[in-house]
């Protein structure tokens, strides 16, 4: 039972997919609390066979990327299932700037000699093309966290690869609406559904989508054997969140663009990283590979860590919290996170929500002015 985005726009698919059309069935697939099912119809145990609730989420997200999705307990669970595909002694190409959990997973595996890791700068397209000829897993994340560098997925996914190599793209910051890695030729696209798909900071879930049947079965097997299954309520809430993804994203990225432009002119801000700004080093690539510039802005203050910490304490509407992609705006100083000391000390990562743009600006501007040393 495969359903794809056919004939309708992603905005409509998000709203209409993952529903039953049986007369009398609930319009929304409900959270189904079941570990096991009556034998005879093929579905026996949820860890092995999935549940209708998980499948609704898989249909919604898989269809957006015209692939088949596997839902997991978290973004990291989905990512670990991709790394789980590697044979001993494999080579992994990893971005220099990427989600710290992925870097942590890759480094831990390298220390146990499961694989070797080579770091490549996100914007070093030639370096990625070279990596494609030797690596068994080409791991891309774009736009990257937290520097928002955009990789030239079009070029990297088209590069000749080692036979059997997997090109995986963590496309969480872009969402399936702004970037379609599988269209460029990636093997698997990853979403932390904890972020934009859920959209309300109230769940953990992850999704891997592929057009490669063998890989889809292998990811399902990995989920079965590691038990990294999504929660019943989480999968239900992720579908519910996905219904409004297009609206939330459109609104928040419009606001993000306006805030990025205003931050760039702010006397107490020294650098703004937002792929939509012409000043952004990978703006030209972003224009080509992304359909929208997203809702995350990273900016450096004209000052140090204390100044930035103080700004985080002073915001009122924006919440001082980690994570991103939700209806509410959140902000944090990334270098404060263990293992992220290489980042500029005053770098603040702002995830723009759906509040009023002027209210957000007033909050940010007054927090910066109040905190100024
Ligand atoms: C949050 C995040 C992850 C991890 O997802 P979880 O759902 O927290 O496990 C992976 N990649 C990116 C880019 C993320 O933002």
The finding on whether 144 has its CB within 6 A of some atom of ligand 1 is no
Q: 25 C-alpha to center of ligand 1: Å?
A: 34
Domains of the chain: which residue ranges? Answer: 10-242, 246-371
- Site to substitute for ligand 1 among 79, 145, 332, most atoms within 8 A of C-beta: 145
- pTM comes to 0.97
CB atoms closer than 10 angstroms to residue 87:
9
Q: How many residues does the chain have?
A: 373
d(CA 345, CA 304): 6
Segment 296-320 mean pLDDT: 97
- Site to substitute for ligand 1 among 150, 172, 189, most atoms within 8 A of C-beta: 172
The finding on whether 194 has its CB within 6 A of some atom of ligand 1 is yes
Q: What is the pLDDT of residues 41-99, one digit of tens each?
A: 999 999 999 999 999 999 999 999 999 999 999 999 999 999 999 999 999 999 999 99
DSSP type of residue 33 = -
Confidence (pLDDT) at 50: 98
Find out whether 149 and 98 touch, Cβ atoms under 8 Å. no
Residue 341: phi and psi, rounded to 5, are -65, -15
| Protein residue with its CA nearest to atom 5 in ligand 1 | 75
**Residue 6 pLDDT > 80:** no
Q: How confident is the model at residue 3 (pLDDT cuts 50, 70, 90)?
A: low
Asked if domains 10-242 and 246-371 share a fold, the reply is no
Average pLDDT, the chain: 96
Q: 144 C-alpha to center of ligand 1: Å?
A: 11
Structure tokens at 175: 């969402």
The finding on whether 46 has its CB within 6 A of some atom of ligand 1 is no
Name the CATH topology of 246-371. Answer: 3.90.1150
Confidence (pLDDT) at 2: 44
The finding on whether 206 has its CB within 6 A of some atom of ligand 1 is yes
Any residues with CB less than 8 A from the CB of 186 and at least 6 apart, and which?
140, 153, 157, 167, 168, 169
CATH architecture label of 10-242: 3-Layer(aba) Sandwich (3.40)
The finding on whether 349 has its CB within 6 A of some atom of ligand 1 is no
Structure tokens at 10: 């992603």
Residue written as token pair 């000052």: 303
Q: What is the pLDDT of residues 133-166, one digit of tens each?
A: 999 999 999 999 999 999 999 999 999 999 999 9
Find out whether 137 and 83 touch, Cβ atoms under 8 Å. yes
Ligand 1, closest atom to CA 78?
9
- Site to substitute for ligand 1 among 122, 192, 241, most atoms within 8 A of C-beta: 192
The finding on whether 234 has its CB within 6 A of some atom of ligand 1 is no
The finding on whether 72 has its CB within 6 A of some atom of ligand 1 is no
| Protein residue with its CA nearest to atom 7 in ligand 1 | 75
Structure tokens at 62: 């898989």
Q: What is the pLDDT of residues 224-259, one digit of tens each?
A: 999 999 999 999 999 999 999 999 999 999 999 999
d(CA 207, CA 195): 11
What DSSP element (H or E) covers 207? Answer: strand 206-210
Task: Return the sign of the alpha-carbon dihedral for residues 269, 274, 276, 278.
Answer: positive
d(CA 29, CA 240): 10
DSSP type of residue 335 = G
């Amino acid at each position: 039972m495969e359903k794809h985005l056919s004939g309708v726009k992603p905005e409509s698919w998000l709203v209409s997919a993952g529903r039953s059309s049986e007369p009398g069935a609930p319009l929304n697939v409900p959270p189904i609390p079941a570990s096991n099912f009556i034998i005879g119809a093929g579905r026996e145990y949820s860890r092995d066979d999935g549940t209708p609730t998980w499948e609704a989420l898989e249909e919604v997200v898989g269809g957006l990327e015209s692939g088949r999705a596997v839902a997991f307990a978290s973004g990291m669970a989905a990512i670990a299932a991709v790394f789980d595909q590697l044979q001993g002694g494999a080579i992994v190409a990893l971005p220099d700037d990427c989600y710290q959990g992925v870097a942590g997973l890759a480094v831990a595996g390298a220390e146990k000699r499961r694989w070797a890791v080579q770091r490549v700068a996100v914007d070093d397209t030639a370096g990625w093309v070279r990596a494609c000829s030797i690596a068994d897993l080409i791991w891309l994340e774009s736009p990257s966290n937290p520097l928002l560098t955009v990789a030239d997925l079009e070029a990297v996914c088209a590069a000749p690869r080692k036979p059997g190599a997997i090109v995986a793209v963590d496309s969480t910051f872009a969402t399936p609406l702004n970037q379609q890695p599988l269209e460029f030729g990636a093997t698997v696209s990853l979403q932390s559904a904890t972020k934009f798909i859920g959209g309300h900071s109230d769940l953990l879930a992850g999704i891997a989508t592929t057009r490669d049947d063998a890989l889809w079965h292998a990811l399902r097997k990995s989920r079965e054997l590691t038990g990294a299954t999504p929660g019943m309520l989480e999968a239900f809430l992720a579908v519910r969140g996905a219904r409004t993804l297009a609206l939330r994203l459109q609104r928040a990225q419009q606001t993000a663009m306006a805030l990025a432009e205003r931050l760039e002119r702010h006397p107490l801000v020294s650098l703004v990283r937002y792929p939509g700004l012409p000043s952004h080093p990978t703006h030209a690539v972003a224009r080509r590979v992304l359909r929208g510039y997203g809702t995350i802005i990273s900016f450096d203050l004209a000052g140090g860590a204390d100044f930035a910490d103080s700004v985080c304490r002073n915001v009122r509407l924006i919440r001082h919290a980690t994570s991103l992609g939700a209806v509410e705006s959140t902000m944090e100083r990334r270098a404060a996170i263990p293992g992220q000391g290489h980042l500029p000390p005053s770098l603040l990562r702002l995830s723009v929500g759906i509040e009023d743009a002027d209210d957000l600006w007033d909050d940010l501007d007054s927090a910066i002015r109040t905190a100024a040393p």
